[in-house]
Amino acid sequence: MEYKQGGFFKRVAKALIDTEKLTTPIVVKEAIEVIQLIEQYKNALNKTTDPVEMERINEQIKLLELGLKGEKSVLFELQNAFLPLHILHDVRIVHNDFKAQIDFVVLTRKFILLIEVKNYYGNILVNEKDEFVRQVYKGNKLVFQEGFYSPVRQVERQAEVFEAYMKEMGAVTRTPIKHAVVFTNNRTVINTKKASKQVKEKIMRVDSLVKFIKQELEKDSPVHFMDNRMQEMSDYIKASHVGLIIDEIDVVEQKLLQETLNEQPANDSPPEMNQANAPQLEDALKKFRMQIATKQNVKAYHIFTNKTLDELLLKQPCTINDLKNIQGFGDVKTNAFGEELVELIMKHKKK
C-alpha cells in the first residue's frame, strides 16, 4: 500500500503547522486478533466433549495466553515510559513474498523500534559464536539444554522486511529502524558474557526496555518527528497490517512455549489465569466502562485505561478503599461510580 505524502508545498505547509505536544505514550494498535483467537478456542472447548480434543484446545489456549502474558508486561512498560511514543502491538507486514510478524512497533521522534518478545522459562546462554542455548537447572544440576534459533537474527529479519516495505512504499527514507529482543519471564537468567557486543546491545530484560529507549533517544538521528508526522506513520503501519493466518503460526516458537509450560513451577502462573471468573468479569467491566463513558459523553479510556482494567482484574477490589489503591481511581471517580464498580466485582466473585 503506497504511502501518500502529497506534493512538496503541501508537505511544507503541514510541517509548519505541526506541533510537539505529545509527552506520553499512546497505543495505536492492540493485539485484538490473538485475543479473539483465544476466545474462539474457548468457544470450541465449550462445544466438544471429546477428551483428546479438549486437551488439544486447552494446550493451544495456554500457549497463546503464555505468549500474550509476556507481551502484556512489555506493553505495561511502554505505556508507563512517560515518553512521546506510538505503540503498535502485534503487526504483520507482507512484502515481496516475505513476511514479518512483529510483536511491537514503537515510533519515537527519532527512530522506529521493533521488539521481539520472549517468555521462555530456563536460563538463556549466548556463547562466543552468538548461538543461543536454553538451559534448565534443578538445583545446581543442569538437567536439560538445547540450542534455538537466534531471536536477534529473527528480529533482524523482521526489521529487514519492514524497512524494505516502508522505503519502497515511500513511508520513510532516512528514518533509523532499530530492533531489540526482550525476555519477560522473571525466572530467566540471561548470560551474555561471551556474546559479541552487537548481540549484547540487542538483548534485555523487560525492566530495562525503557532505559534502552531513553539511551537511544539521546543519540543523534537524521530525523525528528512532530506529532502529526508520527500519527500519519503509525496510522499507515496499522493500515498495512495483514490478518492472522493460523497455519503460519511459528511451530518452533510454539515448541519453546510448550516446554516453558511443562517445565515452569506450577505456582508460576499469573494470578489472573487462576481466576475462573476473569473472562466474564473482563467483559462486564468493559461494558460498565462503555456505559459510563456514554453517559458522560467521553471516550472509554477516560473512564479507565486498559492498564487499569488489567489491575482491576488482578486485584478485584472489594471495598472503596481497595478501589482507591488501583492506579487511576481517586476521590472523583470513586465518588462518581465507585460503589457500582465494587458491587459489580463482588457479584462476579460470588459466581
Instruction: Mark whether 252 and 298 lie in a shared domain.
Output: no
* 326: in domain: yes
Q: Which of 70-84, 155-169, 186-200 has the lowest mean pLDDT?
A: 186-200
C-beta of residue 242 within 8 angstroms of C-beta of residue 92 = yes
Same domain, residue pair 127 and 263: yes
Q: Are 89 and 141 in a shared domain?
A: yes
- Give tens-digit pLDDT for 182-241: 999 877 788 899 999 999 999 998 989 999 999 999 999 999 999 999 999 999 999 999
For residues 232 and 265, the model is more confident at: 232
The residue ranking higher by pLDDT, 245 or 165, is 165
Lowest mean pLDDT among 105-119, 264-278, 335-349: 264-278
More confident residue, 4 or 79: 79
236 and 331 share a domain? no
Q: Given 233, 252, 267, which residue is the final one in a domain? A: 267
pLDDT for 245: 57
Residues 253 and 310 in one domain: no
153 and 258 together in one domain: yes
pLDDT value of residue 180: 97
Asked if residue 252 has pLDDT above 50, the reply is no
In the chain, the percentage of residues whose pLDDT exceeds 90 is 44
Dihedral of alpha carbons 63, 69, 74, 78, sign: positive
Query: Which one of 267, 299, 317 terminates a domain?
Result: 267
Query: How far is residue 223's CA from residue 303's CA, in Å, rounded to a whole number?
Result: 36
Q: Is the pLDDT of residue 1 over 70?
A: no
Residue-level pLDDT at 25: 95
Our count of domains for the chain comes to: 2
Q: What is the CATH number of the domain that holds 88?
A: 3.40.1350.10
The answer to whether residue 2 is domain-embedded is no
**226 and 259 fall within a common domain:** yes
- Does residue 44 lie within any of the structural domains? yes
Give domain status of residue 1, yes or no.
no
For residue 6, with 0-12 CB atoms within 10 Å meaning exposed, 13-18 middle and 19 or more buried, which class applies?
exposed
Closest to 279 measured CA to CA, from 75, 11, 68, 35 = 35
pLDDT surpasses 80 at 267 = no
Note whether 94 and 212 are same-domain residues: yes
Would you state the pLDDT for residue 274? 35
Domain that holds residue 242: 8-267
Residue 183 has φ and ψ, to the nearest 5°, of -95, 130
Provide the mean pLDDT of the chain. 83
Domain end residue (candidates: 210, 241, 267)? 267
Residues 111 and 63 in one domain: yes
Here the CATH number for the domain that contains residue 304 is: 1.10.150.80
Q: Cα(141)–Cα(321) distance, rounded to whole angstroms?
A: 47
pLDDT above 50: residue 268: no
Measuring CA to CA, which residue among 231, 202, 236, 240 is closest to residue 84?
A: 231
- 240 and 285 part of one domain: no
Q: What pLDDT band is residue 31 in, cutting at 50, 70 and 90?
A: confident
Q: Are residues 291 and 345 in the same domain?
A: yes
Q: Are residues 281 and 262 in the same domain?
A: no
Report which of residues 273 and 114 the model is more confident about: 114
Higher pLDDT, 221 or 138: 221
Higher pLDDT, 155 or 62: 155
Tell me: pLDDT of 40 over 60.
yes
The answer to the question of residue 3 being in a domain is no
Q: What is the pTM of this model?
A: 0.68
Residue 258 pLDDT: 54
Residue 218 belongs to a domain? yes
Nearest-5° Cα angle at 177, 29 to 74: 45
Residue 202 lies in a domain: yes
The answer to whether the Cα torsion of 58, 59, 64, 65 is positive or negative is: positive
Mean pLDDT of 148-156: 92
